[in-house]
Chains A and B, each alone.
Chain A
């Protein structure tokens, strides 16, 4: 690791924070019961059913009310929740889950394998985003008894892929509530009924959601908190004010602006950190439309990557909250990360040489050609990056025009109309490359599916590697296949992963046992408690 200003600052923060450790350690020994935990909700969700909608906004609320088969433990390995154990047949086509006994739904009915069967076949396979892809070869779920669910696939399903994906895509909904109704219109989608440590109480649109302690929770004596309140605040400056006045005690998934995150880092009332959100990594991306003849030439794509000073962008625009990416698999995913260096370091001379070599000499006014960039506004940094790209490419003789659209408009323009030369947005990594990453490179996605390969680019070698890895049941071989795949796509860069980032959360130091698992904000918070101030 190179020592930069960022690292120096980070360790300085850690040093300053260590002053608070003794109190925290002392407090941890005697968890206090009761209290209301108030959490920031940045955008209102249409439905509160994680078995139908996979998104951090939905998990932030519903993961306290409904539960998945498995979740990640502190070390990032799949741990039992509603499933107590699992086992895969040698051919990888049958995976058996033993289910927890004595669990009841919030309405008092028992939780059984019928719920798992129903949710998997009717929700994950038919409606859940990424779930339909993950479960496309799921043929049936057998229920030999009330506490065993056997998943049968027509192609081998790697157990590690399934378990990692099920942390997000494995929430169970109550069969007796949904069966025989129109699933999408069921009132339980906005008044969820689950098995989790908190029971849904009230959803006041545009204002707040309230859940209260479930006294019959299967983890006896848990949870500690009496209530959780999620407050809808859409304005990022207002979020900072709410945190500082104690109206909310947590804002996660970059709910604060980058500058406020940077400012609150120096405030001893809060912990501002990526700890406990490691499972959700994301990248700033640059997508190339290879239907443009200039961009069809890999030398031009490489030249563009060489022309952009990523380190400078990170230091000055992202407040150092990122690092240059080494490929589509982030370093926070040790099970697959193949190590390596950023493939195209900043080198203006090389960029110019590559462009000359490709036959695009500087013409009148020093311009080689003009490109159109569409920013896909996932976050406040996207328009900044678009402007930075515009200026950087201007330096090497490529004129760039920025097309401003809101996010729905940008998605349509890029993914359905293919009306772009360059696009920039975020790629989100979801624990396993097969969940939502390889679709950025695999050919054959239907026109119009967002965040898939719509670049007019195709490689048989890459397609093969992706397919092989998706059904390889030996974890070691799988990791090796993905390493080959990363090398291949880094070479060709149909999409360039520019930065590697993690989400930040700002948490009040009153909150105890927070961010102690890799997807804590999307976990059940059964052991979270509030220290008296």
Chain B
């Protein structure tokens, strides 16, 4: 019950923010020269005035910005995200189609980065200033400094083009008609490289935070007490240090969930995945206002949801924090 109340309070607090973000973005996008008809004509390589006028009327662009904004807000109040210019169907349908791929990629990358970062961070902290620590920290620095599109392309060149072990891109085998477990395996096989690419940069951050946090907690008094009780080093780390050291990591997940959505544009393009990032990019280039605003809306909801879960996790990890 308390959780539900908390959820409702959170949602109520985020509603005005959401509204300001959407209206602000709408106005901001009016500053970009050109509208969706210009973008369409650009894609076709030519158009003529009759056709363009007809299309502007069709997309509702023949009225003033104020009227357009008014129409948009009115629709939003009715929970209608409008019609996508690029795809010719409701924005909600377009986003729902793309959401699974993005969520899957994001979740697996986030879990991988979190687990890997945690393990490597703990290892580095326990062997601090010895060779495993140096090796792990150097690797972390390399991952962090390398742009993800480069990782992605190199992964494709090595594992797809040269070795032929993994597919070069796409979400699943097209037209193979797999179902059930076979399909899940096929998707996993296709998402291996993209997940790795997206996760590596985040992994570097997690491992550094984990290492620093572990070192800090290891020096605290209660750890000394635990050791004095005669607990084995492994047990001290697992039962006493880890739990406390995890707090900053959990904070980071909340912060990075938003970044992951944005960061996936590059990975989705390189691996030709049908995700939200690419849809957002396409919407900007094509000046498809409704779709873009819809994506912002959904992304904001996602970030709010993730942060809500993070709050719950805090309470679970450290009972002293009362939510």
Contacts and interface: CB of A to CB of B under 8 A. Distances in A.
Interface of A: 36, 38, 43-47, 53-58, 126-130, 132-133, 184-185, 189-190, 204-208, 210, 227, 229, 231-235, 237-238, 241-242, 244-245, 247, 378, 405-413, 417, 426, 428, 436, 445-446, 448-451
Contacts of B275: 206
B46 A244 contact: no
12 contacts: A46-B40, A47-B88, A127-B51, A132-B51, A233-B169, A242-B169, A245-B168, A407-B42, A408-B38, A409-B34, A411-B38, A428-B46
A413 B43 CA distance: 17
Contacts of B38: 408, 411-412, 450
Q: Considering residues A46, A210, A428, which has the most beta carbons from chain B within 10 angstroms of its beta carbon? A: A46
B54 interface: yes
Nearest first, the 3 closest Cβ-Cβ pairs linking A and B are: A408-B34, A206-B274, A55-B44
Contact of A238 (B42, B55, B269): B269
Given A46-B88, A244-B161, A247-B167, A449 B49 contact: yes
A237 B270 contact: yes
A46 B288 CA distance: 11
Contacts of A126: 50, 54
B87 interface: yes
Interface string B160-196: 1100100111110011000000000000000000000
A471 B50 CA distance: 21
Contacts of A241: 153, 156-157, 160-161, 168-169
B62 interface: no
Interface string B128-151: 000000000000000000000000
Interface stretch (B14-22, B214-222, B238-246, B278-286): B278-286
B319 interface: no
Given A55-B45, A206-B279, A378-B45, A245 B164 contact: yes
B51 A207 contact: no
Contact of A130 (B48, B55, B285, B287): B48
B33 A231 contact: no
B34 A247 contact: no
Contacts, number: 171
A403 B85 CA distance: 27
B44 A53 contact: yes
B32 interface: yes
A232 B275 CA distance: 12
B206 to A, nearest CB: 27
B281 to A, nearest CB: 8
A234 B52 CA distance: 26
A210 B175 contact: yes
B46 A130 contact: yes
Q: Considering residues B49, B85, B272, which has the most beta carbons from chain A within 10 angstroms of its beta carbon? A: B272
Given A46-B85, A245-B167, A235 B48 contact: no
A234 B269 contact: yes
B35 interface: yes
B267 to A, nearest CB: 10
Nearest to B269: A235
B41 interface: yes
A138 to B, nearest CB: 13
Q: Considering residues B47, B48, B50, B153, which has the most beta carbons from chain A within 10 angstroms of its beta carbon? A: B48
Nearest to B271: A238
Contact of A129 (B51, B161, B169, B279): B51
A456 B43 CA distance: 25
Contacts of A237: 153, 270
B17 to A, nearest CB: 29
A205 B44 contact: no
Nearest to A235: B269
Contacts of B289: none
Contacts of A450: 38, 41-42, 46-47
A44 B169 contact: no
Q: Considering residues B46, B94, B157, which has the most beta carbons from chain A within 10 angstroms of its beta carbon? A: B46
Given A229-B175, A378-B45, A406 B270 contact: no
A27 B313 CA distance: 66
B33 A210 contact: no
Nearest to A36: B175
A238 B272 contact: yes
A205 B160 contact: no
Contacts of A129: 41, 44, 46-48, 51
A412 to B, nearest CB: 4
A231 B173 CA distance: 11
Given A408-B35, A412-B38, A206 B174 contact: no
B293 to A, nearest CB: 17
A227 B51 contact: no
Contact of B169 (A57, A130, A238, A449): A238
A206 B270 contact: no
A55 B44 CA distance: 5
B58 A238 contact: no
A522 to B, nearest CB: 13
Contacts of A410: 33-34
Given A128-B51, A130-B48, A206 B98 contact: yes
Nearest to B174: A208
Given A46-B85, A47-B88, A406-B285, A234 B272 contact: yes
Contacts of A55: 43-46
A151 B121 CA distance: 77
A132 B33 contact: no
Nearest to B83: A185
A43 to B, nearest CB: 6
Contacts of B119: none
Nearest to A136: B50
